């Protein structure tokens, strides 16, 4: 249902979201342009909580904000401005999004609720990312910089239009809603030194965006089926399952330390989550976060070492 005309709806109608603009960055633009209206009042009008972090696939504030876009459906908003064009490929169907949004729309306050398994633990690794050349083009075209949605895919590290390594601004730099106006200041950002792992993840991300959601879903289902059929580890407490679990926990730690070398403490904490149980990742219906799914795919294809058949008996 469309909300009645409010300052928020007028603002959104007049300050149009740009093509491929990340919703979180757009919200910041709205706040900057609505000087006469406090951000608290704006959030109140939209009945949404102030975002305290970024990187959630479908945050509560975005679900509440969505009806204020008079010319865009929630599905379009998710697809083009929240990264759905990438991560929807890791859900077996869109019904996950509908039931997620339904829960987020329930008025009573509730604890954190996430679309993907492991999303919560990955927050501390998230960065806002930008390409300096895209930024310059955006300033020339619009007069201001925008955060491009496809650069925010957690496994994207390169702008393929300009062959530039993306600059990262860490989630921990963001304090409440008031982050600094100079958020594109390169001296406050870092560019990761790209390893083969970064490049492989980036390649997979670009490939998934190119092939589309349905193709990615089919691949994911096939990969899960082949893994579960071939690794002989479906029985609970089987020695084979323990073996795979042990190897995966080690590999996951190694991958994450390569990607996020400054987050050693958080990475250690992951060893105690369900993310290190391969069967939980591959057999459970609850969607697994794209980063973890891709890392597990890499592990199971190239690193997993199973004993030869004669050792299994």
Q: Are the beta carbons of 168 and 189 closer than 8 angstroms?
A: yes
Q: Are the beta carbons of 85 and 150 closer than 8 angstroms?
A: yes
CB nearer to Zn ion: pick between 10 and 139? 139
The verdict on 251 binding Zn ion (CB under 5 A) reads no
CB nearer to Zn ion: pick between 132 and 287? 132
CB nearer to Zn ion: pick between 134 and 259? 134
CB nearer to Zn ion: pick between 154 and 159? 159
CB nearer to Zn ion: pick between 42 and 131? 131
Size of the site for Zn ion (CB under 5 A): 6
Q: What is the rounded (10 degree) CA torsion for 250, 255, 258, 261? A: -70
Which string of x and - marks every residue 83-122 that binds Zn ion (by CB under 5 A)? ----------------------------------------
Q: Minimum Å distance from CB 156 to Zn ion? A: 11
CB nearer to Zn ion: pick between 151 and 289? 151
Q: Minimum Å distance from CB 164 to Zn ion? A: 5
- What single DSSP character describes residue 286? S
Q: Minimum Å distance from CB 174 to Zn ion? A: 22
Q: Minimum Å distance from CB 55 to Zn ion? A: 20
Q: Minimum Å distance from CB 147 to Zn ion? A: 12
Which string of x and - marks every residue 142-181 that binds Zn ion (by CB under 5 A)? -----------------x-xx-------------------
User: Which of 31, 104, 118, 134 is close enough to bind Zn ion by CB under 5 A?
Assistant: 134
Longest dimension (CA), the chain: 75
As separate numbers, helices (DSSP H) first and strands (DSSP E) second, the chain gives: 16, 4
Residue reference for tokens 């496809």: 150
Residue 18 CB neighbours (<10 A): 19
The verdict on 133 binding Zn ion (CB under 5 A) reads yes
Q: Minimum Å distance from CB 192 to Zn ion? A: 16
Q: Minimum Å distance from CB 97 to Zn ion? A: 28
CB nearer to Zn ion: pick between 163 and 310? 163
The verdict on 76 binding Zn ion (CB under 5 A) reads no
Long-range Cβ pairs for the range 133-137 (8 Å, 24+): 133/159, 133/161, 133/162, 133/164, 134/159, 134/161, 134/162, 135/184
- Give kind and range of the element (H or E) at residue 165: strand 164-165
Q: Minimum Å distance from CB 138 to Zn ion? A: 9
**Rounded-to-integer distance, Cα 175 and Cα 145, Å:** 20
Q: Which stretch binds Zn ion (CB under 5 A): 116-124, 126-134, 169-177, 293-301?
A: 126-134
CB nearer to Zn ion: pick between 118 and 134? 134
Give the Å distances, CA to CA, from 80 to 20, 70, 71, 75, 197. Answer: 6, 16, 14, 9, 26
User: Which of 48, 77, 97, 131 is close enough to bind Zn ion by CB under 5 A?
Assistant: 131
Residue by residue, DSSP assigns 65-121 as: HGGG-TT--HHHHHHHHSSHHHHGGGSS-THHHHHHHHHHHSSS------SSBTHHH
Which residues are at the interface with Zn ion (CB under 5 A)?
131, 133-134, 159, 161-162
């Amino acid at each position: 249902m469309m909300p009645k005309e409010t300052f928020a709806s007028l603002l959104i109608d007049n300050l149009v979201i740009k093509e491929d603009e990340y919703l979180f960055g757009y919200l910041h633009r709205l706040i900057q342009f609505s000087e006469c209206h406090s951000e608290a009042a704006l959030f109140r009008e939209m009945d949404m909580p102030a975002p305290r972090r970024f990187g959630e696939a479908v945050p509560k504030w975005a679900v509440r904000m969505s009806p204020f876009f008079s010319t865009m459906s929630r599905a379009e908003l998710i697809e083009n401005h929240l990264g759905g064009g990438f991560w929807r490929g890791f859900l077996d169907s869109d019904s996950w999004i509908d039931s997620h949004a339904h829960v987020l729309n329930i008025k009573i306050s509730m604890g954190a609720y996430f679309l993907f398994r492991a999303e919560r633990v990955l927050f501390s690794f998230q960065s806002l990312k930008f390409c300096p050349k895209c930024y310059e083009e955006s300033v020339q075209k619009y007069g201001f910089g925008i955060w491009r949605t496809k650069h925010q895919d957690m496994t994207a590290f390169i702008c393929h239009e300009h062959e530039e390594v993306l600059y990262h601004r860490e989630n921990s730099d963001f304090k409440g809603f008031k982050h600094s106006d100079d958020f594109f200041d390169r001296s406050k950002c870092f560019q990761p030194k790209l390893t083969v792992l970064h490049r492989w993840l980036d390649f997979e991300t670009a490939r998934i965006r190119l092939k589309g959601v349905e193709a990615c879903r089919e691949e994911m289902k096939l990969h899960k089926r082949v893994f579960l059929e071939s690794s002989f580890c479906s029985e609970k407490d089987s020695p084979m399952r323990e073996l795979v679990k042990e190897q995966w926990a080690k590999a996951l730690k190694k991958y994450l330390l390569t990607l996020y070398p400054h987050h050693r403490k958080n990475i250690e904490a992951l060893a105690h989550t369900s993310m290190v149980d391969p069967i939980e990742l591959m057999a459970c219906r609850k969607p697994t976060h794209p980063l973890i799914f891709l890392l597990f795919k890499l592990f199971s294809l190239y690193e997993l070492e199973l004993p030869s058949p004669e050792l299994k008996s």
